[in-house]
Amino acid sequence: MARVIVDVMLKSEIHDPQGEAVLSASHRLGFGNVTGVRQGKRFELDIDGPAGDAALARAEELARELLANPVIEEFSLSFVE
Amino acid sequence: MDGLSEARKGIAPRGALEARNTDTVEFAAATPEAEQPFKELGLTEDEYAKIRQILGRRPTAAELALYSVMWSEHCSYKSSKVHLRNLAPRGAQTDKLLAGIGANAGVVDIGQGYAVTFKIESHNHPSFVEPHQGAATGVGGIVRDILAMGARPVAVMDALRFGPADAHDTARVLPGVVSGISFYGNCLGLPNIGGELSFDPCYAGNPLVNALCVGVMRHADLKAAVASGLGNKVVLFGSRTGPDGVGGASVLASSTFAGDAEDGSVGSGGAAAKRPSVQVGDPFMEKLLIECCLELFAGDLVEGIQDLGAAGVACATTELAAGGGAQVGMRVDLDLVPLRDPSLTPAEILMSESQERMMAIVTPGKAGEFAAVCAKWDVEATVIGEVTGDGVLTMTWRGGTVVSIPPETAADGPVYSRPLARPAAQDELAADGPAMPRPGDGAPLRQALLALLGSADLADKAWVTQQYDAIVRGNTVLAMPEDGGLLRVDEDTHLGIALATDGNGRYCRLDPYLGTQLALAEAYRNVAMTGARPMAVTNCLNFGSPEDPGVMWQLAEAVRGLADGCATLGIPVTGGNVSLYNQTGQMAIHPTPVIGVLGVHDDVRRRVSAGFGANEATIIVLGETRDELGGSAWAHVAHGHLGGIPPAVDLAAEQRLAGLIAVAAAAGLLASAHDLSDGGLAIALAESCLRGGNGCSIDLDDVSPQAFTALFSESAGRAVVTVRPEQAAEFAALAHSHGVPAAAIGTVTGDSLQVNGQFDIPLDELAAVWQGTLPALFG
C-alpha cells in the first residue's frame, strides 16, 4: 500500500481569477503582506502494491488523463510513507 | 487624473531588458534590412510589403504585431468583405435600424422607446483547444460587444456543433464546452434561453461554438465606438493585461515569433517567449464591468467605448482612433497599461487577449467622476493616453516611440477578391437524391420515427440545457426546448423579444444558397411560433479555408442567399461574424451559416408554446407538404446519406405563415404552435406530445398520400398548431384569409402518439427513447 500525492497548479502564465480573489480577500482581512496567491489542487491516491517507479508511472498517467488539464495546468507527483 | 491609477509602479526588472535594443520607430528607420518574422505572424509577403509601403520604412516589432492581428482574417474579414457588402440593409429594411453593420452590434428599434442589440459570434478554435475556457470566454466576449453598444445584456444563446456524438474526442469537447458556457453565463447571471446542438463527422476537429447575446437599452443610451475630442483621455479599465491568447487572432498559435538582437533579428520589442493561447475568463469581473459600464453610461461619463476582444489593445486603439475620422489620432503610453506579468513586451501588450477589459474615451472634466464609479465597482481604471488631432496613432514604451501609424490603415485592412469556383462534385451531389428504400407502413414507420427521435441531433437536449440557468433575472417567458426563446422587456406593457438561431450544414452542403435561406426561414419561423413578429437578423458564417475556391464559392452563395432572403422578408441583417479556416487538411466543414432572428412580441402573456397542452384540441398542419428528403434527418440517420437537393424555399409563404401565427396568437386562438423542420411532422408531433404531456390521434391522408412523406418530409414553411374545437372555424377562416393551407389532421387525446392505420407509440416509450440518448453518451 502506497500513497501518491498529486499537486496540480495552473501553469504560471495562465490567469488565475480564484487566486486573485483570495489575494484581495486576504488584503481586506488585514493580511497586507500577502503579495500574490495562486490556487491549486492536491490529490492523495492510495495505491495497491509497493511504492515504486511503476506505481508512480501509473499515477502520472492518471494525472495526465483525469486529475490535471495539461493544456493549462502542470502537476507534480510524490510518495508519502 | 484624480483617483485613476497613475503609471504603474515597479513595472519590470528593466535592467534585464535594457541590454537589448527596443525596436523603436527610429531604430526601425535606421535598420531597414532587419529580418522580421512576418510569416510566423500570419502575414504574406505582399501584406508585409504593403505595410512597409504605408509606413515608408520597415515596421517596428510592435507595429508588425499590430498589423498582423488587425489584418488577420478574424479581425479584417479580408476574404469575406467583398461578399459581406451585399448584406448592407437597404430601403425599408433600415426603417427600424438605429445602428447597423460596422458597429459592434446592430441596434433595432422595438418601440416604446426601447432598442435592442444582438449579435452572434464564433469561438470555434479556442473551444477545440481548451473546451471549457474557450466556450466560457466566447460568452464573455459577445456579452462585452453588446455592453459596448450601451445596452444591458439580458440573455445569451449558444449554437453548438460537434463531431459524431459517439466519437472519443466529442466526449472531451462537448462536456467542456457546455460546462464553460454554463459556468460563465450562470455566474454572470444571464439566462441562456436556447440555441442548437447537432453532430456531424465534418465537425470532428472543428467544433462550432457560436455564442449569441442580446441586450436592451433606451434609445438615448446608444453608444458609439469612436474617439473624439482633442485632449480627451483614453481609459483602459477592467482586468489587467497578461500573456493570454497573444496572437490568437492571427495564425501564429504556436511559434516563437521573434528572437533577440543577438541573432540579428529585432530585439525586445518582439514577443520574447512562447505564450499560452488559452484565455481564462472571470465572469465575476465581467459582472462588475457590466454594472460599472451601465453606471458610467447613465452618468453620461463616456464619449466613446469599445470592448477588448480579439487583438486586444491593438484593436481597440486603432478602431477608436480610425472611427473618429481623418484628423483624429491617439497617443498611448504602453508603460501605463496595468500588467499581470511585468515581462510583457510592447508587441505582447498590444496582442494580448486578456479577458474582461474595456476602453473608453473620457473628457478630462469627467475623469474624476469616471474613476469614482470604477472604484465603487472595484474595477481598475487607468488613463493610458489621449486623443490627438494629428491623425496618427502613436505609442511609446520606456521612452521610445514603438508605434506611429495612420490608424485607418490598420483598421481597414486589405480586401481580397479570392478566386471562387463551384466544385465539380456539386452536380454529382445534387443528382444523388435519397433513393434508398423507404419504410412503407406500420411497424417500419414506427421504427423509423423512434430511430430519428433517439438520434443525437433530435434527442432531448435537457442534458445540456439543464446545466444552464434559463430563468435568472426573472424575465424569461419561453426557453429551450421551445422553438424560440422569449423574454419580457417591460413589466407594465408586457412588450417582449423573441430569438432563435438555426443552421443546417447538410442543406448548405447540397446548396449553400438555398441552405442559407432555409436556415433564415427556420429561424424566422421559430421566432414567429412564439407569436412574435420577426424584425432583424444576425449571422455567424462558419466555413472552411478561403484559399479553397470551392469554399469561397460556398461563402459567396451563402451570403447571396442571405442577402436575397432578407430583402424578400424586408428585415435587415444588423451584424455578424465570419469564421473561416474551419477545416482539417483538405477536409472542410459543411458550410454552416448560423442565422439568428430577433422578433418583437407585443404582449408576452399571449405567447404560444410548442406543447400539446389542451386536451381535445384540433391538430392542424399549416403549409404544404411535398416529397422533399434531400439532406433530411431521415436520410442522415437511417442511411448516413447526404445528397440530392434541399427542400424548396418560399419566403412569401413563410411571411404568410408568420403573419397568421402572430394574428392568431394575439387573438388567443392558438393552444400551441410548433414549427416543422428536421425530421418533419413525425418529430414535431413527438416533441409536442412530450412537451405537453398529452397524446394525439392523427390521420395523415390530408398531409400527403404517402404516410412516409407525410411523416418525414422536411418541406419548409410548415407548422403544426392546435386550436380548441370551439375556435377551429374562426382559425380556419383566418388561415384562409392569410393564404396559408391548413389541414386538420387529428385531436389531442390519450397518452400515446397514434397514427391511425399505421402505429401507436405510448408516450412513456417516446420519452424513454427521446430522453435516453444524451445521458447515455455523456453521463
**pLDDT score, position B779:** 86
Q: What angle do CA B93, B97, B103 make, to 5 degrees?
A: 115
**Where does CATH 3.90.650.10 sit in chain B?**
20-78+224-412, 608-779
B280/A16 CB distance under 8 A: yes
Fold of B608-779: Phosphoribosyl-aminoimidazole Synthetase; Chain A, domain 2 (3.90.650)
B74 is an active site residue: yes
Preferred mutation among A10, A12, A13, A38 to probe B, highest tally of B CBs within 10 A: A13
Rounded-to-integer distance, Cα B536 and Cα B681, Å? 27
Rounded-to-integer distance, Cα B598 and Cα B550, Å? 31
Find out whether the peptide bond into B481 is cis, omega within 30 degrees of 0.
Answer: yes
Residue B390, Cα to own-chain centre: how many angstroms? 37
pLDDT tens-digit series, residues A48-80: 888 888 889 999 999 999 999 998 999 999 988
Q: Are strands B496-502 and B533-542 parallel, antiparallel or unpaired?
A: unpaired
Rounded-to-integer distance, Cα B452 and Cα B679, Å? 7
Across the interface, which of B133, B276, B285 has its CB nearest the CB of A13?
A: B276
**Bridge partner residues of B533 (DSSP):** B600
Residues of B in contact with A69 (CB under 8 A): 130
Catalytic annotation, pick one of B74, B83, B132, B738: B74
Distance from CA of B343 to the nearest CA of A (A): 11
pLDDT tens-digit series, residues B32-54: 989 999 998 889 999 999 999 99
Chain A contact for B274 (CB, 8 A cutoff): no
Confidence grade of residue B6 (pLDDT, cut at 50, 70, 90): very low
B590 is an active site residue: no
> Of B185-199, B248-262, B301-315, which range is least confident?
B248-262
C-alpha cell at B38: 512576418
Residues of A in contact with B355 (CB under 8 A): 15
* Burial profile B205-231: b = 16 or more Cβ within 10 angstroms, e = fewer: bbbbbbbbbbbbbeeebbbbbbbbbee
Residues of B in contact with A10 (CB under 8 A): 280
Rounded-to-integer distance, Cα B198 and Cα B209, Å? 11
Domains observed in chain A: 2-80 (3.30.1280.10)
Interface of A with B in 20-79 (CB under 8 A): 20-21, 69, 71-72
Residue B255 in this model has a pLDDT that exceeds 60: no
**pLDDT score, position B662:** 97
Distance from CA of B279 to the nearest CA of A (A): 7
B278/A14 CB distance under 8 A: yes
Cβ(B393)–Cβ(B406) below 8 Å: yes
pLDDT tens-digit series, residues B185-243: 999 999 999 999 999 999 998 999 999 999 999 987 887 777 788 899 999 999 999 98
- Establish, for the pair of chains A and B, how many residue pairs have beta carbons separated by less than 8 Å: 37
Cβ(B64)–Cβ(B39) below 8 Å: no
Residues of B in contact with A17 (CB under 8 A): 280-282, 284-285
Catalytic annotation, pick one of B123, B132, B601, B674: B123
Distance from CA of B388 to the nearest CA of A (A): 34
Residue B12 in this model has a pLDDT that exceeds 50: no
Residue B332 in this model has a pLDDT that exceeds 80: yes
User: What does each C-alpha distance from B494 to B110, B217, B477, B604, B607 come to in angstroms?
Assistant: 13, 16, 11, 6, 11
Q: What is the DSSP string of B590-656?
A: PPEEEEEEEEEES-GGG---SS--STTPEEEEES------TT-HHHHHHH----S-PPP--HHHHHH
Rounded-to-integer distance, Cα B241 and Cα B350, Å? 9
Fold of B20-78+224-412: Phosphoribosyl-aminoimidazole Synthetase; Chain A, domain 2 (3.90.650)
pLDDT tens-digit series, residues B641-684: 999 999 999 999 999 999 999 999 999 999 999 999 999 999 99
Residues of B in contact with A11 (CB under 8 A): 276
B278/A21 CB distance under 8 A: no
pLDDT tens-digit series, residues B477-517: 999 988 899 999 999 999 999 999 999 999 999 999 999 99
Instruction: Name residue B185's amino acid.
Output: G
Q: What is the DSSP string of B453-516?
A: HTSTTTS--HHHHTTS-SSTTS-EEE-TTSSSEEEE--TTT--EEEEEEE--HHHHHH-HHHHH
Rounded-to-integer distance, Cα B437 and Cα B450, Å? 17
**pLDDT score, position B501:** 97
Return the beta strands (E) in B348-424 as ranges: 357-362, 381-388, 393-397, 400-405
- Sign, Cα dihedral of B698, B702, B703, B709: positive
A71/B278 CB distance under 8 A: yes
| Pick from B269, B251, B248: nearest CA to B260 | B269
Across the interface, which of A16, A21, A72 has its CB nearest the CB of B278?
A: A72
B284/A13 CB distance under 8 A: no
A71/B244 CB distance under 8 A: no
pLDDT tens-digit series, residues B512-562: 999 999 999 999 999 999 999 999 999 999 999 999 999 999 999 999 999
pLDDT tens-digit series, residues B392-433: 999 999 999 999 999 999 998 899 999 999 999 999 999 999
B130/A72 CB distance under 8 A: yes
**pLDDT score, position B702:** 94
Across the interface, which of A14, A16, A20 has its CB nearest the CB of B276?
A: A14
> Of A65-79, B116-130, B210-224, B264-278, which range is least confident?
B264-278
Closest residue in A to B344 (Cα) is A13
**pLDDT score, position B265:** 33
A13/B243 CB distance under 8 A: yes
Closest residue in B to A70 (Cα) is B130
Closest residue in B to A71 (Cα) is B130
Cβ(B66)–Cβ(B403) below 8 Å: yes
497573444: which residue's cell? B246
3-class SS string, B112-156: CCEEEEEEEEECHHHHHHCHHHHHHHHHHHHHHHHHHCCCEEEEE
Rounded-to-integer distance, Cα B478 and Cα B599, Å? 13
pLDDT tens-digit series, residues B580-617: 999 988 889 999 999 999 999 999 999 999 999 988 99
Distance from CA of A17 to the nearest CA of B (A): 6
Chain A contact for B692 (CB, 8 A cutoff): no
